[in-house]
């Protein structure tokens, strides 16, 4: 059981790190896009890439929260549900 719990916690940490890295990449591309020495088409491309990273990070975060909600409702033992009624 401890092994399963350790794997679950590691998975949550990995998901958090992935979202954080995606947001960090988006910020890097936004910073690069703000450089006035770059041509306009390159800056536009950087803005689009940053937006893509942000959308992926938001989607991952929403999917993970939805997964947590379904797990939370599934894990309530039956005798607790009966006691609450």
The whole-angstrom separation of Cα 15 and Cα 30 is 23
Residue 51, number of CB atoms within 10 A of its CB: 13
User: Structure tokens of 75?
Assistant: 């894990």
Q: Which helix (H) or strand (E) holds 26?
A: helix 2-33
pLDDT digits (tens, 9 = 90+) for 3-47: 455 555 557 788 889 999 999 999 999 999 999 999 999 999 999
Whole-number Å distance between alpha carbons of 79 and 75: 12
User: Cβ distance 51 to 33 under 8 Å?
Assistant: no
Residue 2 is predicted with a pLDDT of 44
35: DSSP letter: -
């Amino acid at each position: 059981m401890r092994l399963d719990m350790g794997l679950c916690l590691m998975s949550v940490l990995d998901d958090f790190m992935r979202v954080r890295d995606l947001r960090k990449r988006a910020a890097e591309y936004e910073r690069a896009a703000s450089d006035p020495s770059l041509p306009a088409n390159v800056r536009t491309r950087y803005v689009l890439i940053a937006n893509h990273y942000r959308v992926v990070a938001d989607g991952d975060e929403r999917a993970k929260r939805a997964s947590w909600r379904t797990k939370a409702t599934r894990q309530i033992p039956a005798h607790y549900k009966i006691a609450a009624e």
